[in-house]
Amino acid sequence: MKSGKGHATRNVRTIIVMEVEESSDARAVWEALVAGKEEDFISGLPDEFQGWARGVAERIAGDVMDQEAALEQEFWSVTNSLSPGFSRKDFAMKVAQSPNKWALFPMLDGQVMRPELLKRARPEANLFPSNLRCQSEDVA
């Protein structure tokens, strides 16, 4: 038979986990990453959430790096296929059908696409650390 104290502690622990989850979904990690404050955000979480949050941040950053590399490859492929001194019109005709033209033109102007890619990497809402959602252990 459980004592009332253990049951109350478990309920408090469950409430704390639920409150942290409500403010610490994958989107909150992404928002901190976009703001450049992911380390502050992650270190402010309870220890049991930090590994999950770091994993989310690493996955997002990895996806962004992969997308950035693909854009750079496409950009250099296009520019290398054009004659020296090509015009914007030449470039436009070459990338007209590319789904990445939204990024290729700013790259032609020297813009770095990582900030925009990071904004576009927004995870879906309500992605929580699922292994902690139904925690029912007693914490004394």
Backbone angles phi, psi at 25, to 5 degrees: -85, 180
H or E segment at 81?
helix 47-81
CB 49 within 8 A of CB 16: no
Q: Which residue type is seen at 35?
A: A
Residue range 37-50, pLDDT digits in tens: 999 999 999 988 89
Residue range 50-78, pLDDT digits in tens: 998 999 999 999 999 999 999 999 999 99
Q: What is the pTM of this model?
A: 0.71
**Domain ranges across the chain:** 4-132
Residue 124 pLDDT class (50, 70, 90 cuts): confident
Question: Is residue 9 packed enough to be buried (19+ CB in 10 Å), middle (13-18) or exposed (0-12)?
Answer: middle
Distance CA(113)–CA(118), nearest Å, equals: 9
Reported as half-sphere exposure (CB side, CA atoms, 13 A), residue 134 has a value of 1
